[in-house]
Amino acid sequence: MNIEITLPDESVRTYEKAITGEEIAFDIGPKLGKDAVAIEINRKLYDTSYVITENASIKILTKKDIQSLSILRHSSAHLLAQAVLNLYPGTLYGVGPDIEDGFYYDFLFKENISDADLPKIEKEMLKLSKANQLFVKSIQKKPDAMDLFKNQQFKMELIDSADESEGVEDSEVSLYSNNEFIDLCRGPHVPNTGFIKHFKLTRLGGAYWRGDENNSQLQRIYGTSWFNKEDLEQFLTRRVEAEKRDHRKLGKQLELFTTADELGPGQFLWKPNGALLRNTIENYSKKAHINNGYDFVNTPHIGRSVLWETSGHLEHYEEGMYPPLQSKDNDDKYYLKPMNCPFHILIYKSELRSYKELPIRLFELGSVYRFEKTGVLHGLLRARGFTQDDAHIFCTFDQINSEVNNLLRFSIALLKSFGFKNIEADLSTKPKKAIGNDEDWNIATRSLEVALEDEGIDFVTAEGEGAFYGPKIDLHVKDAIGRRWQLSTIQIDFAQPDNFDLEYVSTQNSKDRPVMIHRALLGSIERFTGILIEHYAGEFPSWLAPTQLKILTIGDVSDYVKNITAKLSGVRFEIDDRNIRLGEKIHDAKKQNIPLTLIIGEKDLSNNTGSLNILNSESKNNLDIVSLVDFIIDDVAEPEFEF
RNA sequence: GCCGGAGUAGCUCAGUGGUAGAGCAACGCACUUGUAAUGCGUAGGUCAGGGGUUCAACUCCCCUCUCCGGCUCCA
């Protein structure tokens, strides 16, 4: 019996008997044999040691293939567990998958370890790596596996709940061992531990067993692993870069915002520089909304409890709301608003609405307060008090598609204006805990899908991730160093119009129910500003910079400078006329990331010149002052809104 | 909320039981300055807050608050 093996280039090799992936690789070439990480057989991944017994299409994976990195990292997690069990006998081990950029493994140590222990574990891993231990797969009956792991409660739990999705029969589990270390695992793995050379343990943190906060708390060790030294180093450099961009650090350095213990956690004070930045963002967004059919409204910060009972927030999110305020007049309770929608609904309801008015788009920069758990707070990115660029669109059923299409275009245009060019979408469907009937959910979900298709936007579906009242589209952007941030959200809602008994008079003179679309495009202004700070590493484009231009003087040039500044209307500038050396003034301006620095000295008076330093670009020295002023005016202009 | 770490001058940080230190910033004086920090001087701290141990606590112990890294959560 011959076995025909088809390679990716369609060529066929024939073997007389069963053969392993490794043997095929070596047969193709010794280099490939040595580099083989895993093998893809009929589009499924296997170890190179897998024995092929029938005709198949295969591909030998090497470090050049993307999937190989996940395999390497998964194997690295095993190596980590092996090292930990060597060093800390009696440790219980949980799960250890590969993740983006690396891997982790969860442990329950007899005594908690600390960051200081990581280098020791790393050293042990290196030792094991050098031993070139083979990863060997075996299939065991569940009772036998139970016996093997009889002192490992987490593994026993995993064996107990393992099913066919693990790639073996229901009564069996798949195991991997290298030397004395054995772990429950679906695989595949790299051929031996020698493949795992360039790794680093990056972090130690807590994690609940099986991600459930009712379960015991394990210690999770994070690591990263690569095929090449350069890749590892590049990754570590990127982490340092990300740290430098931390908006909390830059916010302090650039005097954008501050906090105070007396305020309480999750709340921020915007200093003049930050307020300038924030106002620039807000004003740009406001202008775009004014030009695109939104009506501006303003609403208060608190409302009677009945409002939140009607909306369902009290039922669904009471834990996440600040506790109520007690009225002094009567028994009424008031809640700080966690969302703006009920207030906008009240505005809608304040008049009898006609189909002729729809769609009605109510916009507000609305400040909301959510009682986030202390552990989740993270600078501006996750605050308790924040301001949404929030709007609610009330429209007829037939208007949904055009509204959502429009919104998608509008939102993408807005995000692009702020420098985010790379935008992706998620479509989130009905969650377990939801209100409204399935039919409405399907219609709403379908109309979001149609809009995404109409606009030609690629999206992934996030099952069960919708809001409790409706499905949503979330837009994500990639920042300058490739991190993904969720910004815009567009949500269709049939439930709230029902809850609040919203109506409009139709062409037939009947009272019909409008549909609501909730949408926030920048999301929270605080969060958006934080993301912008990290995206630009605190070096904002001129139109966003709090101070756009700094004029540095040498000697007495005050009249000349006065003439220049008279032409700079609309430019946010400062004059540094301290009697100190120019070098120091430049140093200070640079430290504040001022995009433009105009240097004016006495010798410019007779020549009508100036010198302009441009952040991260070549300076323009001793040029005609009129052309420099033109350049400045042009450079600080806000981007066109391309919609 | 849970696991772990941290909190010292406005900022960045040193200080392992004997009454607290540096650099930058601030303030004063001198220097009058052409592309990344001029020199000298002055002032500044209930060592997060509270309690305890000790002859003596920034230092050791307990509680609280806040921050950081994770987990969980995110309308």
pLDDT digit string, tens, across residues A397-414: 999 999 999 999 999 999
Closest nucleotide (C1' vs CA) to A607 is B34
- Active-site annotation holds for A234: no
Q: Would the CA dihedral through A215, A221, A227, A230 be positive or negative? A: positive
* Confidence class for position A2, pLDDT limits 50, 70, 90: confident
Catalytic residue among A74, A198, A472, A527: A472
Distance A29 CA to B25 C1' (A): 66
The model's pLDDT over A54-101, given as tens digits with 9 standing for 90+, comes to 999 999 999 999 999 999 999 999 999 999 999 999 999 999 999 999
Nearest CA to the C1' of B3 belongs to which residue?
A206
pLDDT at residue A49 in the model:
93
The mean pLDDT of chain A is 94
Q: Once rounded to an integer, what is the mean pLDDT over residues A549-578?
A: 96
Q: Is the CB of A323 under 7 A from strand B?
A: no
Among the options A388, A491, A496, A592, which is catalytic?
Answer: A388
Q: What is the mean pLDDT of residues A530-552?
A: 97
- pLDDT value of position A433: 84
DSSP summary character for residue A324: P
| Residue–nucleotide distance: A587 CA to B29 C1' (Å) | 24
CB atoms under 10 Å from CB of A635, counted, come to 17
Side-chain half-sphere CA neighbours of A390 within 13 A: 22
Q: How far apart are CA A586 and CA A552, in angstroms?
A: 8
Q: Is A388 an annotated catalytic residue?
A: yes
Which protein residue's Cα is closest to nucleotide B37 at C1'? A584
Q: Which nucleotide is nearest to A202 (CA to C1')?
A: B69
pLDDT average, residue stretch A611-627: 96
Distance CA A207, CA A216 (A): 9
CA of A521 to C1' of B72 (A): 27
Q: Which nucleotide C1' is nearest A318 CA?
A: B75
What is the predicted pLDDT for the residue at A530? Answer: 97
Q: How far apart are CA A51 and CA A23, in angstroms?
A: 9
- Are A612 and A599 in contact by the 8 Å Cβ rule? The answer is yes
- C-alpha distances (whole Å) from A433 to each of A54, A460, A466, A469, A483 are 48, 21, 10, 9, 30
Percent of chain A at pLDDT exceeding 90:
88
pLDDT 10s digits, A192-208: 999 999 999 999 999 99
Give A374 CA → B52 C1' in Å: 29
Give the residue-averaged pLDDT of A2-28: 92
How far is the C-alpha of A373 from the C-alpha of A321, rounded, in Å?
A: 10
User: Average pLDDT, stretch A261-283?
Assistant: 95
State, as a whole number of angstroms, the distance between the CA of A536 and the C1' of B42: 40
> What pLDDT was estimated at residue A352?
97
Closest residue by Cα to residue A590 from A628, A552, A622, A560: A552
Window 157-196 of chain A: CB closer than 7 A to strand B: none
CA atoms of A221 and A105, how far apart (whole Å): 6
**pLDDT value of residue A436:** 83
Q: How confident is the model at residue A111 (pLDDT cuts 50, 70, 90)?
A: confident
Give the bases of strand B that a protein CB approaches within 7 Å.
1-5, 11-12, 31-38, 65-75
List, for residues A310-324, the tens digit of each pLDDT value. Answer: 999 999 899 999 999
Which amino acid is it at A218? L
The answer to whether A472 is a known catalytic residue is: yes
Residue A270 CA distance to nucleotide B51 C1' (Å): 36
Structure confidence by residue, pLDDT tens digits, A437-456: 898 899 889 999 999 998 88
Give the rounded percent of residues in chain A with a pLDDT score beyond 70.
100
What is the pLDDT, as a whole number, of residue A164?
Answer: 74
Nucleotide nearest A580, from its CA to each C1':
B33
The answer to whether the C-beta of A587 is closer than 7 A to strand B is yes
pLDDT at A556 over 90: yes
Are A489 and A473 in contact by the 8 Å Cβ rule? The answer is yes
Task: Return the amino acid letter for A216.
Answer: S
Exposed / middle / buried, residue A490 (Cβ in 10 Å: 0-12, 13-18, 19+): buried
**Residue A169 predicted with pLDDT over 80:** no
CA atoms A348, A351, A356, A357: torsion sign: negative
- Is pLDDT above 90 for A46? yes
Amino acid at A582: L
pLDDT (0 to 100) of residue A469: 87
Residue A268 scores a pLDDT above 90: yes
Given A344, A392, A535, A585, the catalytic residue: A392
For the CA of A580 and the C1' of B59, the distance in angstroms is 44
Residue A553 has pLDDT above 90, yes or no: yes
**What are the distances in angstroms from CA A262 to CA A265, A268, A269, A635?**
9, 11, 12, 41
Which pLDDT belongs to residue A418? 97
Provide the whole-model pTM.
0.94
Which DSSP letter does residue A322 get? Answer: P
Residue A341 falls in the annotated catalytic set: yes
Provide CB contacts within 8 A for A174, sequence distance 6+. Answer: A137, A138, A139, A140, A166, A167, A168, A184, A185, A186, A187
ipTM: 0.95
For position A192, what pLDDT does the model report?
95
Computed on alpha carbons and rounded to an integer, the radius of gyration of chain A in Å comes to 31
CB of A317 under 7 A from strand B? yes
**CA-wise closest residue to A468 among A419, A431, A500:** A431
Q: Which nucleotide is nearest to A619 if distance is taken from CA to C1'?
A: B35
In the residue annotation, A152 being an active-site residue is answered as no
Can you give the pLDDT at residue A432? 86
Nucleotide closest to residue A113 (CA–C1'): B4
Please give the angle made by the CA atoms of A414, A420 and A421, to the nearest 5 degrees: 100
**Alpha-carbon gap, residue A297 to A366, rounded angstroms:** 9
Q: Which of residues 339-358 of A touch strand B (CB under 7 A)?
A: 339
Clarify whether A246 is annotated catalytic. Answer: no
- As to burial, measured by CB atoms within 10 angstroms (0-12 exposed, 13-18 middle, 19+ buried), residue A99 is middle
Strand B contacts (CB < 7 A) among A residues 392-431?
Answer: none
Find the Å distance, CA of residue A113 to C1' of nucleotide B4: 9
Does the active-site annotation cover A518? yes
Q: Is the CB of A110 under 7 A from strand B?
A: no
